[in-house]
Every structure is written in C-alpha cells, then in structure tokens.
Amino acid sequence: MEIIKVKDYEEMSEKAFSLMRAVLDDNKHPVLGLATGSTPLGLYGKMKRFYEEGFSYKHCITFNLDEYLGLPEGHPQSYRHYMYENLFNSTDFQGDNIHIPDSTGDPETICNMYEHSLDSNRIDLQILGLGGNGHIAFNEPGTPFDSLTHVVDLTEQTREDNSRFFERKEDVPTQAITMGIGSILKAKKIVVMASGAAKADAVYGMLEGPVSTDCPASALRNHPDVVLIVDEEAASKL
Ligand code: F6R
C-alpha cells in the first residue's frame, strides 16, 4: 500500500484529484467508484472545476458505494440526491452512465443486478472514505471480506455518526444497500482518503492492526494497488 501523508483536508483533496486525473487521462471510458460523506467533497469540488475548465465527463461511468433503504425518492439525505447536488448537476456525467443502488425496488434483485453491472464494468478507480469504526462503504465490523453487494442493518454508531445530516436521529434509516468488501476489492485501483482526528483509530486499525473483519478497512491490505491519503490529524496514532 502506498501511503501519502499530507497536511490537511485541502492537500488531501488535491492529491486525490491528481490521482483521479491520471485515471481520466489513461482510460477511454473510465469507470469511477464514488463515495458520499464529507470526505470526498473537496475532490468533487476539484472535479467540478475541471469540468468548468473544459474537461468532459460524458465518457465516464460511475458506481456509487451505497444507498439508504427506506427513504422516499428524492429525499435530501439520499445518496442519490447528494451525488446530483455535489457533482452530477454541475458536470456533464450522463444519466445512463450513473449507477447508484436503487432504493425503491426489491432489495435482493437490486443487489444482484448491481453486482452484475460491476462485473461487466470493472472499476478503474474506487474512491473511499473511512468510518470512525473502520467501516468502508456500509460494511461494518464483522462483514466478511468476500461479501458482495448486499443489504445491511446499520449499527447504532453509524446511525449516530450520520444523524448530523438528519433533523432527528430517529429519521436516520436503519438499513442500506452497500457494495460488499469483495465488490470493492475487485476495483483496479483504490484511493482511500482520511482527514481529521476522528479517523485516527480507523487509520491505525487499517494499517497497523491485525487484518481482521473487526476492522473492515484492514481488508485493503490484501489489494495490490491501494493509495491512502492521510492528513496529519488522521495519522496521529501511527
Ligand atoms: C459513503 C460511505 C461511508 C463513508 C464513511 C466516512 O458513501 O460509504 O463509508 O465514506 O462513513 O464518512 P465521512 O466522509 O462523512 O466521514
């Protein structure tokens, strides 16, 4: 694993963008694995600026990691809404090339179809953030490393962490669809970003703890091409 230590969130986002640019330059039809949350917002800002400067994303295919179950369509906290708000509406990604787990149909069928699409479009670059407990996507501690796209029950900790985006904690959904750890490991290249003291334990577990399902991010040590971009605060326990 390559580890890039940076000063802060801004420098982390810049580094991630330079790795993203290399993948955009090297591939005719880049397949991008995208995340939501606070971590990739800086990167998405830079991707939007790149579009304003003349780059077109029309030829790019995207897959999002996860989506809540049980939110009404168009809900402002759905990950679909987040992606349109923070990236797709201000760029020219094409609707047909955008894949986000559908939260409205039969979850089992949706999971199987999603994994099938992933197999037909291998991800060139997967962007990941880290949960405070080391989760990646919605794969919580205990998730098998060979798991594929599946329905998860969200832990109390994750619901608590995400409640800042909802009016009340009770409004945070209890389930989600997520790419599995095995689905994520199929990507050709993975870039993990970690910023801030709240991520220090997860970064420690990912790099220096045992490779174990207790820390889902430790599975990334089994992948041949992972880059971790970590800022000073997130690296403080190494
Ligand atoms: C997002 C996702 C999550 C987040 C993680 C970190 O699609 O799957 O695993 O990457 O919870 O969230 P932030 O970036 O908000 O700290």
Summarize the confidence of residues 178-194 as an average pLDDT: 98
| pLDDT for the residue numbered 122 | 98
Query: What pLDDT score was predicted for residue 7?
Result: 98
Whole-angstrom CA distances from 51 to 55, 123, 153, 188, 192 are 5, 21, 37, 24, 23
Query: pLDDT value at position 134?
Result: 95
Q: Which pLDDT does position 73 carry in this prediction?
A: 78
pLDDT range class, residue 157, cuts 50, 70, 90? confident
Ligand 1 center to residue 55 CA distance, Å?
Answer: 27
Q: Is the pLDDT of residue 138 over 90?
A: yes
pLDDT number for residue 155: 86
How would residue 236 be classed by pLDDT, with cut points 50, 70 and 90? very high
Does ligand 1 lie within 6 Å of residue 36's CB atom?
A: yes
pLDDT band at 12 (very low <50, low <70, confident <90, very high): very high
For residue 161, how far is the Cα from the chain centroid? 16
- Is 176 a pocket residue for ligand 1 (Cβ < 6 Å)? no
What pLDDT was estimated at residue 111?
A: 97
Compute, in angstroms, the gap from residue 36 CA to the centroid of ligand 1. Answer: 6
Q: How confident is the model at residue 150 (pLDDT cuts 50, 70, 90)?
A: very high
Name the catalytic one among 64, 66, 67, 161.
66
C-alpha distances (whole Å) from 35 to each of 120, 168, 192, 208, 215 are 20, 23, 10, 24, 19
Query: How far does the centroid of ligand 1 lie from the alpha carbon of residue 38, in Å?
Result: 7
What is the predicted pLDDT for the residue at 210? 98
Distance in Å, CA 29 to ligand 1 centroid: 26
Give the global pTM. 0.96
Instruction: Report pLDDT digits (tens) over 33-47.
Output: 999 999 999 999 999
Report the nearest atom of ligand 1 relative to the CA of 178: 8
Radius of gyration for the alpha carbons in the chain, expressed in angstroms and rounded: 17
Residue 171 annotated in active site: no
**What is the pLDDT at residue 74?**
86
**Ligand 1 atom having least distance to the Cα of 199:** 16
CB 131 within 8 A of CB 161: yes
> Would the CB of 137 count as within 6 Å of ligand 1?
yes
For residue 182, the model assigns a pLDDT of 98
pLDDT over threshold 90, residue 162: no
- Cα(122) to centroid(ligand 1), Å: 22
**Is 66 annotated in the active site?**
yes
Q: Tell me the average pLDDT of the chain.
A: 96
Per residue in 83-101, pLDDT (tens digit) is: 999 999 999 999 999 999 9
* Three-state secondary-structure class, residue 5: strand
- pLDDT at position 114 is 98
Q: Is the CB of 184 under 6 A from ligand 1?
A: no
Predicted local distance difference test score (pLDDT) of residue 105: 86
Query: What b-and-e string marks burial along 58-84, b requiring 16 or more CB atoms within 10 Å of the CB?
Result: eebbbbbbbbbbebeeebebbbbbbbb
By alpha-carbon position, which residue is closest to atom 8 of ligand 1? 137
Nearest to 195 by CA among 158, 230, 236, 237: 230
Residue 77 clears pLDDT 90, i.e. is over it: yes
